[in-house]
Structure 1
């Protein structure tokens, strides 16, 4: 009888441990779900195509989505505060157009890249000021910035500007690999991964990062605690703007040219990747690592669609379906957390 009691006790203790882990790490559940989906997609694609999970394809996954990964890091900061930034695609196009124009006029790269980053930061600051000091909703404020940035891109030039600067093209053309057919990296991919690491370190190990989470969790409580809410939210939008400017550099290197219509819809792809990666649209919960997984899910879907040879509209349909699933999962998690906290 004592042995049975011990077994029941052990089973109950194990179940209690699992329950305690889930309650303490509920914010990681969507991230794990995104990882499972990514692995399942890779396994399924490999089984169907036979040559999907190869060093070349996996390398291209990072190479083709480096700019999106950078945008996703900046967007994670904004969404964690409970905001949104619809201007990132247009800012990427504007900074890319201006940078390409300056390069075509002989301006040194050492001047062009900082100018692109500063302009991105100023656009982000513009959105943050509208939100914080004028009480404009983030959706409307960033929408206004999106139209402004797109208009500025057209003011630079109505046509495409080809980039022939070796230093910019080097970012994309250089392949760093260990041997024939092995996994390779490009400077743009390395730059994107560095941005991810910096984003993780800031959010997880700095007071600024903890304040970001506190604001997203409950802004009023954050104010009552004496946290610098206004400054933090402004900096979140500035970070998003800087990431958009840096994405402008990376995307210009990726395409070898700039066009005022570049980046249309990219802001929605970025938001989708961040949400699929587990960041709550209401703020307060999410991780840069999850956003990176979300970008890879997006890239894997796009690559699989290309392998199938069907219309790329199926990428949008699939992403939309996944986005719906993850939003529903998030709502269920929030509701369950609310019930547990009562």
Structure 2
């Protein structure tokens, strides 16, 4: 007497096949896995070639110096997953930091000035979202226009560096906190700015990967028309991702200004490209529909560690950083193309 088995039961892999399926990375996670491998490889190479890379103080400085880039990359992740782009974040940092420091020096409450720095970014993101969603301007053009606007306003406010007062609470966000007292200078040191970046990553991870809004962001990146036909809030979500990106750019301005202790109109030039590169290196597809917040964090740390290795080497000119970044970015774009081609198959 024969027993009937369901097709799903017959198709379910068992034994070695099931184990292989579990450990084999999905296509969408392949670029992120590659970024992790590159990051670990850079650490191993740096330790072998220059030494003193795998140390608490080196890793602490890596986090402190790139906290603002991590925040920017998280914001860009939301935008790029929908298939958009935001070129204004570097200029937002310039206008936010200059305006905030000038207001503090003019006697404003420093905490109110810091809030205004974030809200300036929110305003820029809102305008970008309105242009893109309701006036149907291409994201590249809309955010490029906002980039020029932000950079111009920053130059109108001041062409000289604006220094943060020594006793300002803003500087406290850049103060180093010793978490672990190691031998000599090998300490674990963090700043409130790093903790802010960690909180942003945690909140963004939850929102993008665990909420209905996050699922809508992915659906828009997969097919905006299909997302609208499913009744998803496409307009609201597209607006929100640019508001998130702009607000996080304003927050990144607070974190960076606190660490540097000054602001000027040329701050943030090219940082939008660094943030985009970090996001792409971390596995977010430029075509939208796939990406990971933690992958963008890894991408930002890859760029930061690259600068550390170039500085340690001493023989590589700083100008080569952009060339190396471009090369790494090209590799990951080609990898993304291969993933998309495999998807279609």
Contact 2:174/2:191 (CA < 8 Å) preserved in 1? yes
CA displacement at 1:227 relative to structure 2: 0.3
Q: Per-residue displacement from partner, 1:175-198 (whole Å, max 9, x unpaired)?
A: 232213222211111111111111
Distance in 2, Cα, partners of 1:212 & 1:336: 23
In structure 1, what is the equivalent of residue 173 of structure 2?
Answer: 171
Residue correspondence of structure 1 range 1-342 to structure 2 within 5 A: 14-15=16-17, 18-19=20-21, 22=24, 25-164=26-165, 165-180=167-182, 181-309=186-314, 310-339=316-345
Distance in 2, Cα, partners of 1:108 & 1:283: 41
SS in structure 2 at match of 1:262: coil
CA displacement at 1:156 relative to structure 2: 1.3
- Superposition RMSD on alpha carbons, in Å? 1.5
Distance in 1, Cα, partners of 2:296 & 2:62: 15
CA displacement at 1:17 relative to structure 2: 5.2
**Which protein is richer in helix relative to its size?**
1
Q: Per-residue displacement from partner, 1:144-176 (whole Å, max 9, x unpaired)?
A: 000000011112112110001431111112323
CA displacement at 1:71 relative to structure 2: 0.5
Q: Per-residue displacement from partner, 1:61-102 (whole Å, max 9, x unpaired)?
A: 001011111001100000000000000000011000000000
Distance in 2, Cα, partners of 1:13 & 1:142: 52
SS in structure 2 at match of 1:172: coil
Q: Per-residue displacement from partner, 1:83-125 (whole Å, max 9, x unpaired)?
A: 0000000001100000000000110122111111111111001
Where in structure 1 do 4 or more consecutive aligned residues deviate above 6 Å? none
Aligned length: 328
List gaps (5 residues or longer) in structure 2.
Answer: 1-12
> How high is the TM-score relative to the length of structure 1?
0.93
Distance in 1, Cα, partners of 2:226 & 2:19: 31
> How high is the TM-score relative to the length of structure 2?
0.92
